Structure 1
């Protein structure tokens, strides 16, 4: 999608939910890909999360700042190798603040946003994410979502049910999606990844990286 002839416009998908296409320049994408590769090697390596019922998620996940497991946060990855997760860097806090300004169009409140965890999901061509809410956090601050690599169908729903009404949004490499305010606890998921749409200029020849920044409130 980085070679799209006509720029895609910023879209308010729902009150508090904003899609900003092509927000990350290719240089920032490359930097994020390299950072994610380093985090994927450890101290807690990337893995497929095992759900409480015994199912295994199709995406591969690595965490920064706090370790997420269904359905809580901890400083150490007791379900993986017991190690403490990588520290959350200051430059990622600043990136999250820049993203809020891009989405909401104002500097007000920018310095109050202090994400302290990142969940990084890698999708191969077969990976999916079912409809879910991000609700393990004690903070209602917005979630900042960054996409790199293959495009996907991102399904953004409502706060009451996993079903309709929902809106399907195409997220391409470099896209930003922010959801906060009345949309903060909306159900959302990824029913489809589009193989062959990756971003070699960013170092992604296949697959999709999704980086979500959050305030845990912990």
Structure 2
């Protein structure tokens, strides 16, 4: 059986939304949602939290006893430390065939999407060596010099008729340690893009994101979708 380890890296401090990883979101700390979702995924062999937060380390040990907790080394705690360096350390400690990395800031990400991503990747391997999730965009994009990126400005197509482009949304990455070490990147030489709906892919980066995600979560829960 393929061993897939899920990694959730979480810093104690965050610059734009203070303490967001353990801040109350709807009814419980934000990180509880993604951890609970990952634990409910039958394809995931183990869930790992990598953190420098004493709050998360203490609470998760009590509430999620099956989760492996890794206290982040001092040399990897600076906010400017690349995520790939953090992941290289985590993957050196916890062996796996593949790693699935996500974030606590994706509370609307569902078990169904995670399981579908894993199944799709397994079906298409080895044609693809890694997977990352994306959000489809069909809108007119311009670069900083006012040059059209994905359309001909002289031909006013309806936005729904534009060829889609895709935004890396940081919800799901599937990769091996070999790819991470060789490329210093979670995305391999032959990556598979996995599309996720923009609402489910909501990421909390600033205060407005936090408030919007809470409202979307409540709406989904009321409709039975979350």
Structure possessing the higher relative contact order (Cα contacts under 8 Å, 6 or more residues apart): 1
Instruction: Answer yes or no: same fold by TM over 0.5.
Output: no
TM-score w.r.t. the length of structure 2 is 0.26
Higher percent of residues as helix: 2
Give the TM-score taking structure 1 as reference length.
Answer: 0.27
More strand by share: 1
